[in-house]
Amino acid sequence: MINVYTNRENYQYDLHALLKSFYPEHDVNVYNESALNCREEDGRRVVIRFLEDRMEAVLDIDARKEYSHTYKGDNDVTKNEYKLSLYYDLCDYTGRTLPWGNLTGIRPTKLPMGMLEEGLCDEEIIAQMKETHAVSDEKAALSLDIARRERQILSGLHYRDGYSLYVGIPFCPTTCLYCSFTSYPIAAWKKRVQEYLNALFREIDYVAEACKDKILDTVYIGGGTPTTLEADALELLLGRIRERFDFRSVSEFTVEAGRADSITPEKLAALKRHGVTRISVNPQTMKDETLKLIGRQHTVAQVREAFKMARAAGFDNINMDIILGLPGELEADVAHTLEEIRKLSPDSLTVHSLAIKRASKLSQWIGENGIQALHNTDATMAIAAEGAAAMQMKPYYLYRQKNMSGNFENVGYAREGKYGIYNILIMEEVQSIIACGAGSISKRVHTDGLIERCESVKDLTQYIGRIDEMIERKRRLLRER
């Protein structure tokens, strides 16, 4: 355990994220400096003081070391400059660097995107990312490449008078070892699925009416696993959405089919009948032993069968997700997964770096087996990138999460014309996304750049019982300013 004490309360999140990046195997707690002499130390100690023109750091993790940086009397030192100093202290202390430098946010492509808007050239953007954030050459180039592609993909969307719709189905066949999303085992909730849909339909109806004068650009049904719904329930859901919303301007309609053990010909027929244009069939790995370990009750053979079933149903835009850093998997396992996926030839591939969520079963597994069992490296990331390139795919969106294995990133790759538009929108926050369902988060992007958020409760019973309140939250979000 590492306990961090600081005199800047508004820096606590950044300090936690930076220390955790260097020490993923430790629990990191950040406290106000006033607690320094009031607590019994139950771990290693870091004290960081931000003064008017300098930062002082005492790192007492493995061996005590003191640092002090003076900013030449500058009274306007930014948070990033302090973070950059601490980052270099930690590099010196540990003998390591991080691929994303001192960046702790989840949307690093917003930086080059903003600089492109300002008219900076490629060399200036990369130099600024390296100088200001200590980002590696490789990651700076990757984020710039993706930002440029995102601008082109989003150029035809209706930012000012448009929006996208998200619908959440919080059911799964089982809960995966690494998962912290809002999801409930479908077997235990089967008798209450219709109750959930009834509440969800009320929320959908309200949003459709409230947004009837706006242009709908994309629709995404996620979860959970939407295809855990039976074919008739899926038919009801898709029919309700198509009935209530004007689809004439919709450029992408995605349903995250996800788990191979939830896909049937009847469900795929329902998706196709209602105009779904993009689906996901997500193996996470093509190694049966790992699938069993992470709690996915299907086999690699079922993944292949589900994918072929989707192709036979007429889907020409199929995504597959994989996760790097799964327990026990090494470079050879990643290479095998990419080779098996290449044989299926999906239209896009989303490569996730395993993120260790405190609310997931993975945290307990790590406590029992050690973080050393999670293996994600530059080599595994390169194998995935090379595998995507071999399938004629280019990177088109990127995001990061807290506590990612190897301090890497998640990257979406796709063939030309098969990019997931909604995926870019949710990351870049340039268009309002109105989300319906338990645990969903709506974001309204105002013309002045202000972003307002509105959450629905995660608990399924609470969502059903408080649906009037959820609708009222939407009403306040969508009110005229």
Residue 348 sits in a domain whose CATH number is: 3.80.30.20
- Find the angle CA(369)-CA(374)-CA(378) to the nearest 5 degrees: 160
pLDDT of residue 255: 97
Q: Which residues contact 276 (CB under 8 A, 6 or more apart)?
A: 238, 253, 254, 255, 315
Inside any domain, residue 309: yes
Give the number of domains in the chain: 2
What distance lies between CA 20 and its chain's CA centroid?
A: 18
Angle between helices 122-133 and 110-117 (to 10 degrees): 140
Tens of pLDDT, residue by residue, the chain (481 residues): 889 999 888 899 999 999 988 988 788 899 998 888 766 666 788 999 888 778 889 998 878 898 888 876 666 678 888 899 999 999 999 999 999 999 988 899 999 999 999 999 999 999 999 999 999 999 999 999 999 999 999 988 898 789 999 999 999 887 777 776 656 888 888 899 999 999 999 999 999 999 999 999 999 999 889 999 999 999 999 999 999 999 999 999 999 988 899 999 999 999 999 999 999 999 999 999 999 888 888 999 999 999 999 999 999 999 999 999 898 899 999 999 999 999 999 999 999 988 776 656 676 676 666 666 677 788 999 999 999 999 999 999 999 987 776 778 999 999 999 999 999 999 888 899 999 999 999 999 998 889 999 999 999 999 999 999 999 999 999 997 6
Whether residue 367 contacts residue 378, with contact meaning beta carbons closer than 8 Å, is answered with no
385 and 308 in one domain? Answer: yes
What's the CA gap between 468 and 443, in Å, rounded? 19
Inside any domain, residue 134: no
Whether residue 227 contacts residue 193, with contact meaning beta carbons closer than 8 Å, is answered with no
172 and 92 in one domain? Answer: no
376 and 297 in one domain? Answer: yes
Inside any domain, residue 364: yes
Whether residue 416 contacts residue 422, with contact meaning beta carbons closer than 8 Å, is answered with no
Inside any domain, residue 51: yes
Last residue of a domain, one of 62, 96, 130: 96
Q: Which residues contact 270 (CB under 8 A, 6 or more apart)?
A: 231, 234, 235, 238
Inside any domain, residue 128: no
Measured in degrees and rounded to the nearest 5, phi and psi for residue 282 equal: -105, 105
Whether residue 116 contacts residue 154, with contact meaning beta carbons closer than 8 Å, is answered with no
Name the amino acid, one letter, at 135.
V
pLDDT of residue 366: 65
388 and 304 in one domain? Answer: yes
Whether residue 404 contacts residue 105, with contact meaning beta carbons closer than 8 Å, is answered with no
Last residue of a domain, one of 50, 75, 96: 96
423 and 349 in one domain? Answer: yes
pLDDT of residue 172: 87
DSSP helix/strand/coil, 358:
coil
177 and 267 in one domain? Answer: yes
Inside any domain, residue 3: yes
Q: Which residues contact 247 (CB under 8 A, 6 or more apart)?
A: 216, 219, 253, 275
Inside any domain, residue 291: yes
pLDDT of residue 197: 98
pLDDT of residue 9: 87
DSSP helix/strand/coil, 378:
helix
Residue numbers of the domain that contains 47: 1-96
* Pairing of the two strands 318-324 and 348-353: parallel
85 and 174 in one domain? Answer: no
413 and 300 in one domain? Answer: yes
Measured in degrees and rounded to the nearest 5, phi and psi for residue 109 equal: -70, -15
Q: Which contacts (CB < 8 Å, 24+ apart) does range 63-70 have?
A: 65/93, 67/92
Q: What global pTM score does this model have? A: 0.90
289 and 385 in one domain? Answer: yes
Inside any domain, residue 472: no
Domain of 26: which CATH number?
A: 3.30.160
**Is the Cα dihedral 214, 208, 241, 397 positive or negative?**
positive
pLDDT of residue 75: 61
311 and 232 in one domain? Answer: yes
* Pairing of the two strands 318-324 and 278-281: parallel
Whether residue 238 contacts residue 226, with contact meaning beta carbons closer than 8 Å, is answered with no
pLDDT of residue 181: 62
300 and 384 in one domain? Answer: yes
363 and 215 in one domain? Answer: yes
